[in-house]
Amino acid sequence: MKLNIAVLAGDGIGPEIMEQGVAVLSAVAEKFGHEVSYKEALCGAHAIDEVGDPFPEETFQTCKAADAVLFASVGDPKFDNNPTAKVRPEQGLLAMRKKLGLYANIRPVETFDCLVHKSPLKDELVRGADFVCIRELTGGMYFGKKQEPAVNADGVEDALDTNYYSRPEVERILRVGYQYARQRRKHLTVVDKANVLASSRLWRKVAQEMMGEYPDVQTDFMYVDNAAMRMIQDPRFFDVIVTENTFGDILTDEGSCITGSMGLLPSASTGSSTPVFEPIHGSWPQGKGLNIANPLAQILSVAMLFEYFDLKKEGALIREAVNASLDQNVRTPEIQVEGGGKYGIKEVGAWIVKYIESKK
């Protein structure tokens, strides 16, 4: 297969983890006889510094023309505590999602047996937890009508975000949820706040109408506050969660810490144009240049990329290599066992590449 990949390394640890992601992608492509070409493009703080725009038109065109985007991370502390900044790196990510029509964000939360002790939760609660959060990504408060802080007619400073959803937006993401549930344990949990929010009542109404079309899937409804609690009390309850943009943002950070390291979780964003594959962690500016971050989420995002194109063996080989690296304690510092060797981003990446190359 021929694959044109847009490479958006972004900020912070992004370029370092991306280097390993690309190395793994190339090694797998070589092994299975795929022809891959890469085109790098600017995004995030880096792009603001260079061209004044966190998602420049040229980057958009590169993404649109590609078969897939491999994305690392954006963000820079110099913008974080400045609420009046006119442009922010995160706007680049949001612009990418919107312009590429990436309405479905797929965030699997899987545990690795050898790492359950790293979880802040008890081993017995976490072991075997395996669910997917399908987060709506181009609607809700993130993109609804906004008003930045300003003094109103009564002389009071106010601000506004609107949590807007239309029926087609809700329906298409619920369908993605049902498709995933059908391929998994056939249990879909629709997370909303229908006891308070009108937008959530639309979600619930549409879901109730659709559930009859999927009699093989057990559908249940859960308020988001309850879901946040359940995720900690009993993460194994969940199979597929489908929810709106803001709730999905919050719940997936919560979900990621169940597994013990945020550095392990990949994601895919799909929709009407080029799909994007990226780790769910951020740019971790404090780790930049130190060769200490975990490249596994980026590498597992490459596995998701192959699987998206139905290249299952390719994805499976990456997962096997990642598991082997963990089993052999070839691990970055935050998940390394006491007395274990010292491995940084580069060493873990190189080990995984070597493993892939050595497979018959």
Q: Can you read off the two tokens belonging to residue 94?
A: 């949001």
Given the residues 11, 76, 142, 343, select the one marked as catalytic.
142
- CA dist., res. 330 & res. 325, Å (int): 5
234 is known as an active-site residue: no
Which of 43, 93 has the CB closer to ligand IPM?
93
Which of ligand IPM, Mg ion, none lies near 161, with the C-beta cut-off 5 to 8 A by kind? none
225 is known as an active-site residue: yes
* Residues 225, 73, 163, 52, CA torsion sign: positive
342 is known as an active-site residue: no
- CA dist., res. 220 & res. 198, Å (int): 19
- Calculate helix-pair angle for 296-308, 14-32, nearest 10 degrees: 40
Which of 73, 119 has the CB closer to ligand IPM?
73
- The gap from C-alpha 218 to its chain's centroid, in whole angstroms, comes to 25
Contact letters for Mg ion, residues 239-278 (x by CB under 5 A): ----------x-----------------------------
Given the residues 49, 67, 161, 253, select the one marked as catalytic.
253
Contact letters for ligand IPM, residues 73-92 (x by CB under 6 A): -----------------x--
Which of 24, 45 has the CB closer to ligand IPM?
45
Q: Can you read off the two tokens belonging to residue 16?
A: 């370092």
158 is known as an active-site residue: no
Residue 199 contacts by C-beta under 8 Å, 6 or more apart in sequence?
A: 140, 163, 164, 165, 244
Q: Can you read off the two tokens belonging to residue 49?
A: 């510094």
Site for ligand IPM in 243-262 (CB under 6 A): 249
To ligand IPM, the closest distance from the beta carbon of 299 in angstroms equals 18
Q: Which residue is nearest to Mg ion (CB)?
A: 249
192 is known as an active-site residue: no
Which helix (H) or strand (E) element contains residue 161?
strand 157-161
Amino acid of residue 235 = P
Binding region for ligand IPM (CB under 6 A): 90, 93, 249
Residue positions annotated with a catalytic role: 142, 193, 225, 249, 253
